[in-house]
Amino acid sequence: MPGAIYRIESIGRQLGIGVAGSRYVYLSAVAKENSATAAPYCIPNELICGELGRFLRLPVPPVGIVTQASSGPLFASLDFNLTGNSLPPVNVMNCVRVLPSLSAGLLLFDIWVANCDRHAENFSVDFYGTPPQMNIFDHSHALFGYAPGQGETRLTALRDRLGISWTTNNPIDSGQHRHCLLDAVNDDDYFDHWLTRIRATPDFYIEEICEDARPYGLTAQEAAAAIDFLKARRDNMKDIIRNNQSEFSAIQAWRLPL
């Protein structure tokens, strides 16, 4: 699938002679910050998940840290919404029909990072594009969750669990939403494709992105817990799926040997 196109706010001056006509462009991005009560782990969650998703070649916008003189760091991702209009909720059944591989990839990725907050309004699909285009965003409640000081506790609680199927709104081992694709993906044809990519994620990559996130709201112990969590789930995804097959309510016949 071709990469997404991102929005330019304005075009500036050229850099000079001899640089292939390069010029400054000012891009539109969406920024977030940690909130002491509502999203204390927002930046590290977004930064780690954004980098992992892009490693897997899921359609996650480029991400990074931005600063402004009057306040602390912000997490930012490039704006893929070219019109600026509100994005409509995704028809998840149509998404699975039109983009079956990416639908499976998003589902398995969210299991890996224990994203308890994937609903029809925090990813998008342009069904009228040629080809149709998915964009994935908003991981602020994945991994460490959203309860202040409870990040490591959540990782311990969810280490061997599915992590996306509860609706009890418990901030430690659950979340606000049952994953919107969990009851929509109706076969496991593309599971091995994405499991192979997840298993191929190197130790050094997991270690470095978790360490890189430390200055933005993590203790050394929380960063180490995330490294251990992501490596363990990377290596045990098949076991986690096998132990929770009944949660994939739309899959009637399993092909993947689990």
**pTM, rounded to two decimals:** 0.92
Of the given ranges (14-23, 25-34, 203-212), which has the lowest mean pLDDT? Answer: 14-23
**C-alpha dihedral sign at 203, 209, 214, 215:** positive
pLDDT band at 18, cuts 50/70/90? low
Q: What does the alpha-carbon distance between residue 208 and residue 64 come to, in Å, rounded to a whole number?
A: 14
pLDDT band at 169, cuts 50/70/90? low
Contact 111, 172 (CB under 8 A): no
